[in-house]
Amino acid sequence: MAGELDVQGAKNSILPLLSGTVLCQGESVLHNCPNLSDADAACRILNCLGCKCTRVNKSITVNSELLLNTDVPEELMREMRSSIVFLGAILGRTRQCKLTFPGGCELGPRPIDLHLMALRKMGVEIKNESGYLECSAPKGIHGAHISLSLPSVGATENIILAAVTAKGTTEIHNAAREPEITDLADFLNKCGARINGAGSGTVIIEGVEKLGGAEHKVIPDRIVAATYLCCAAITRGEIILKNADFSHISALVPVFEQMGCKIYGYNSDGEDRIYINARKPLRAPHKIITTWHPGFPTDAQPMFMALASTLKGTSVFEETIFDNRFRHADELMRLGAKISVNKTIAVVEGVNRLSGADVKATDLRGGAALVTAALFAEGTSRISGISHIDRGYDDLVGNLKKIGADINNA
Ligand code: EPZ
């Protein structure tokens, strides 16, 4: 494949940003918002809380002057597991909140013990009864010194959201360092918050009285960028990604280079871009271990497994973040991939050819992995379960067509 593509705004940024608007007693405008079912679900939650959430193309305006409700109904919570990130914001604004305990998901159990531990330390009383979390802070929310046993993205976001209007200062140690954390802090600071250290392992939040609204542009989606780069590599092509932040994919670059790709970031007319050339014969990356940012992101593992399936040699994948994130391996094997999975280790023997087949997306990135592999496979593949893909990719089909893929929505 060859050509140029614009990278969408980040799904894992727009969700906490939309939650953050609940804290704002005014109007906020978020630009570069991708059209995703998860973003629509977040907007439905905002409207249910009494905020006015409207979208015009890639901009979402939220007026949260009036917050009429503090409970998120079960059907909305169930639509999207990451709705838990509304908990910190609703508490930060109203000091009370009731929502259902978010279930696990396709990737395995998704506990929220760190979220709850931290909020309790900040003075929130939490009752977990018959699947509901009933939270209140009768004496208000106060700052706390919180050390996380693991750098949970969601827990870091929830703590920041609850801490921006708390009394006093909150320190988060072993905080998540993902770029989406920095994006959230940048937006909240524009609204009047006082957050320092976002993107590092220690985040300090000084509580302020109230937040106003602000305008903000969502950062590019680094996992969508990784997906397009894998699609280019698996078809031995050459593409340019526009509005893509090379510094957000630093752990992926050595893997692409080890495979034999040429990849670099540059700026053209004020626009960040990423270039990849995979036209040379490629070889398998020896070992990919997923870990916390800035390490190799777990969200990119499925697409790299699809790519590795077609490269000469053996690759070993170790998944250290989620318990059940190799479900796409079975479906890749239906296309002819040679993969053996044992708990959190997957060994991939590269093959010269894959053949088209009917396969089923098991989850968001697993679905993206199947699309990636199908671009290489001989013949036609039919991928079902694409609602998973629609959660995180804005017009994946249209974008891949732009760079030469023979792909259609059924
Ligand atoms: C965010 O999920 C992302 N989702 C995920 O992306 C991403 O894979 C994940 O971070 C890790 O980077 C969003 O941002 C919406 P975590 P989150 O809290 O916040 C354990 C995608 O494909 N844990 O960092 O839910 C947990 O079991 C999605 O875009 C606890 O034990 O991830 C898991 O093993 C998938 N206790 C690990 O930490 C807790 O209280 C990662 O969790 C919280 C988490």
Q: Is the CB of 365 under 6 A from ligand 1?
A: yes
What pLDDT is recorded for position 169? 98
Tokens of residue 251, six digits: 């752990």
Tokens of residue 132, six digits: 């509901």
Q: Is the CB of 222 under 6 A from ligand 1?
A: no
Q: Which atom of ligand 1 is nearest to the CA of 114?
A: 40
Q: Is 350 helix (H, G, I), strand (E, B) or coil?
A: coil
Catalytic pick from 105, 135, 230, 261?
105
Q: Is the CB of 87 under 6 A from ligand 1?
A: no
Please name the residue whose Cα sits nearest to atom 13 of ligand 1: 12
**Structural contact between residues 368 and 355, judged by C-beta atoms closer than 8 angstroms:** no
Please name the residue whose Cα sits nearest to atom 30 of ligand 1: 111
Question: 105 catalytic, yes or no?
Answer: yes
What pLDDT is recorded for position 81? 83
Please name the residue whose Cα sits nearest to atom 38 of ligand 1: 152
Q: Is the CB of 110 under 6 A from ligand 1?
A: yes
Q: Which atom of ligand 1 is nearest to the CA of 82?
A: 15
**Structural contact between residues 358 and 335, judged by C-beta atoms closer than 8 angstroms:** no
CB-based contacts of 254: which residues, under 8 Å, 6+ apart? none
C-beta contacts of 364-368 below 8 A and 24+ residues apart = 364/388, 364/389, 364/391, 364/392, 365/223, 365/299, 365/300, 365/301, 365/302, 365/303, 365/328, 365/392, 366/106, 366/302, 366/327, 366/328, 366/331, 367/328, 368/227, 368/302, 368/303, 368/392, 368/393, 368/396
What pLDDT is recorded for position 151? 98
Q: Is the CB of 152 under 6 A from ligand 1?
A: yes
**Structural contact between residues 400 and 407, judged by C-beta atoms closer than 8 angstroms:** yes
Q: Select from 105, 153, 328 the residue to mutate for testing ligand 1; criterion: most ligand atoms less than 8 Å from CB.
A: 153
What pLDDT is recorded for position 101? 85
Query: How many angstroms separate the CA atoms of 232 and 371, rounded?
Result: 12
Q: Select from 8, 81, 110, 120 the residue to mutate for testing ligand 1; criterion: most ligand atoms less than 8 Å from CB.
A: 110
Matching residue, tokens 């909240």: 188
Q: What is the pLDDT along the chain (410 residues), one digit of tens a residue?
A: 999 999 999 999 999 999 999 999 999 999 999 999 999 999 999 999 999 999 999 999 999 999 889 999 898 988 888 899 999 999 999 999 999 988 667 888 889 999 999 999 999 999 998 889 999 999 999 999 999 999 999 999 999 999 999 999 999 999 999 999 999 999 999 999 999 999 999 999 999 999 999 999 999 999 999 999 999 999 999 999 999 999 999 999 999 999 999 999 999 999 999 999 999 999 999 999 999 999 999 999 999 999 999 999 999 999 999 999 999 999 999 999 999 999 999 999 999 999 999 999 999 999 999 999 999 999 999 999 999 999 999 999 999 999 999 999 98
Query: How many angstroms separate the CA atoms of 157 and 187, rounded?
Result: 13
Query: How many angstroms separate the CA atoms of 340 and 170, rounded?
Result: 45
What pLDDT is recorded for position 281? 95
Closest by Cα among 84, 91, 74, 81 to 130 = 74
Please name the residue whose Cα sits nearest to atom 37 of ligand 1: 321
Query: How many angstroms separate the CA atoms of 165 and 184, rounded?
Result: 15
pTM above 0.75, yes or no: yes
The amino acid present at 388, given as its one-letter code, is H
Q: Is the CB of 188 under 6 A from ligand 1?
A: no
Q: Select from 107, 128, 150 the residue to mutate for testing ligand 1; criterion: most ligand atoms less than 8 Å from CB.
A: 150
Q: Is the CB of 369 under 6 A from ligand 1?
A: no
What pLDDT is recorded for position 315? 98
- The β-bridge partners of 96 are 136
What pLDDT is recorded for position 109? 83
